Chain A
Amino acid sequence: MISLKDIWKSFGDNQVLKGISLEVERGKILVIIGPSGSGKSTLLRSINHLETIDRGEIWVDGVQVNAPLKGRKFEKHINRVRQEMGMVFQHFNLFPHMTVMENITMAPMLLKKIPREKADAQARGLLEKVDLADKMNCYPVQLSGGQKQRVAIARALAMEPKVMLFDEVTSALDPELIGEVNKVMKRLASEHMTMLIVTHEMRFAAEVADHVIFMADGVIIEEGPPEEIFSNPAHERTRRFLFEVFKS
């Protein structure tokens, strides 16, 4: 479903991604872990073309995201491709001038020309799924961090994406709010959504992941099923990282 081939990316002379390749099969969950600055966010953002990579190929559901098109053609292409991917950010990025309902229905109504009643009905269903049916007429400022993030997930799901990308979606939350967001992600997992998750939460990673990648300094140090990575890592670097994380 997602296939990255030899991805390179630098910011100036800071080489951030150095030949990353990975695959995520349909309905599977890939979790990426690694120290701060290792390039996890950059990698995820590249898949959505929020960063432009220098070299390599990004494929999602048989379509090349970084297709060799120019100008307006590429713009049209990328806008279409992005509709197939849901992205959830660390800082929620809800639209503060719209109600919860409007946050969710805006994109489907505008891009898929879905009539309001249908979009509203769909949004109500999504809000139930993220346990926020009672908040649909609230504005984002009236919500807690955990509630905001669940709305953000519902907003992404409203476009009925084929894959979901999560970039440390619980990092900005108070500890007691993390569980409610993780629960929603687990629910998605049980529905076989294809997901790529960047997280610092090892316990959650171990629970949901089908496959785990440990990244450091722009390369994949090691990868494998969660049992293996978490209980029996092959590399010293991974061991040190996990030790540090679990210590805290």
Chain B
Amino acid sequence: MQGLEFSVVFENMNILLHGMFWTVVLCSSASLLSIVVAVVLAMTGISKLKPLRSATFFFLWVFRGTPLLLQLFLFYFGLPQIGLYLSPIITGIIGLTLHFGVYNADVLRAGILGVETGQHEASRSLGLSYFQTMRKVIIPQALRNVSPAVGNNLIALLKESSLVSIITVPELTLSAQRAISETFRPFEFYFAAGALYYVVNWGLEFILQRVEARTALTR
């Protein structure tokens, strides 16, 4: 038996902080992009054009029905086969964006349908087009209404982001593993990585709470 020795974590803290930095980059980009993707998919999902709607539902169905890990493998190992070479970090961002964009799209579509028809009518009667109405009136309200659910998805995104360590994105989990392979101290480093995830999560929740408080008044 070896006993626990946490000082080794502090000696290698820069490795973990480096990983945490990439986790933050990865998750903030994927979070924002997943909302953009959600807006697009929610819009195409309620489009008047049947083919566009069908294509959207097929896309949602595929991404909802398959594991994130498989999707990441597909992007990382599969795309080079068709001549598309992407760096691990870009692949990771794309994978997380699409996977969670799909979840957010589901939530947002319900949010859009939940906005009263009176809002559409008031906006259209002023002379705004369908897209102007969506952009200025409907989507902002829908996003506000579903912000708690989207927030939960983003917290899930943060935690699931550890999966991209498998495609060699140098994020927090992979950094912990690297530190472990040098020091043979799994307990200490996984524990420390967990604590750092907690810190990032805490930051995210803080931001989400701020957004909630800002929009609560105007719902």
Contacts and interface: CB of A to CB of B under 8 A. Distances in A.
State the 5 A-B residue pairs at the shortest beta-carbon distance, nearest first: A83-B127, A93-B122, A93-B118, A87-B125, A107-B126
23 contacts: A75-B129, A75-B130, A82-B126, A83-B126, A83-B127, A85-B125, A87-B121, A89-B118, A89-B121, A93-B116, A93-B118, A94-B122, A95-B122, A95-B123, A97-B141, A106-B126, A106-B136, A107-B126, A107-B127, A110-B132, A111-B128, A141-B219, A152-B122
Interface in A66-101: 75, 79-80, 82-83, 85-87, 89, 91, 93-98
Nearest to A76: B129
A144 B124 CA distance: 24
Nearest to A142: B217
A94 B119 CA distance: 7
B127 A96 contact: no
A155 B121 CA distance: 14
Contacts of A79: 127-129
B127 A159 contact: yes
Interface of A: 48, 50, 75, 79-80, 82-83, 85-87, 89, 91, 93-98, 106-107, 110-111, 139, 141, 152, 155-156, 159
B152 interface: no
Of B122, B124, B129, B141, most buried by chain A (CB within 10 Å of CB) is B122
B217 A141 contact: yes
B140 interface: yes
Of A48, A86, A95, most buried by chain B (CB within 10 Å of CB) is A95
A7 B141 CA distance: 36
Interface string B126-154: 11111010001100110010000000000
Contacts, number: 69
A82 B118 contact: no
A110 B141 CA distance: 18
Contact of B219 (A85, A96, A155): A96
A171 to B, nearest CB: 14
Given A96-B141, A96-B218, A97-B215, A110 B128 contact: yes
A82 B124 contact: yes
B123 to A, nearest CB: 8
A79 B125 CA distance: 8
A79 B140 CA distance: 21
Contacts of B121: 50, 87, 89, 93
Contacts of A152: 122
Contacts of B122: 87, 89, 93-95, 152
A120 to B, nearest CB: 17
A179 to B, nearest CB: 24
Given A97-B140, A97-B215, A97-B218, A156 B118 contact: no
Contacts of A89: 118, 121-122
Contact of B127 (A80, A91, A95): A80
Contacts of A75: 129-130
Contacts of B118: 89, 91, 93
Nearest to B126: A107
A141 B218 CA distance: 7
Given A95-B141, A97-B218, A107-B128, 12 more contacts: A75-B130, A79-B127, A83-B126, A87-B122, A87-B125, A95-B119, A96-B218, A97-B215, A107-B126, A111-B126, A111-B128, A152-B122
Nearest to B132: A110
A50 to B, nearest CB: 5
A96 B126 CA distance: 16
B195 to A, nearest CB: 38
Contacts of A98: 218
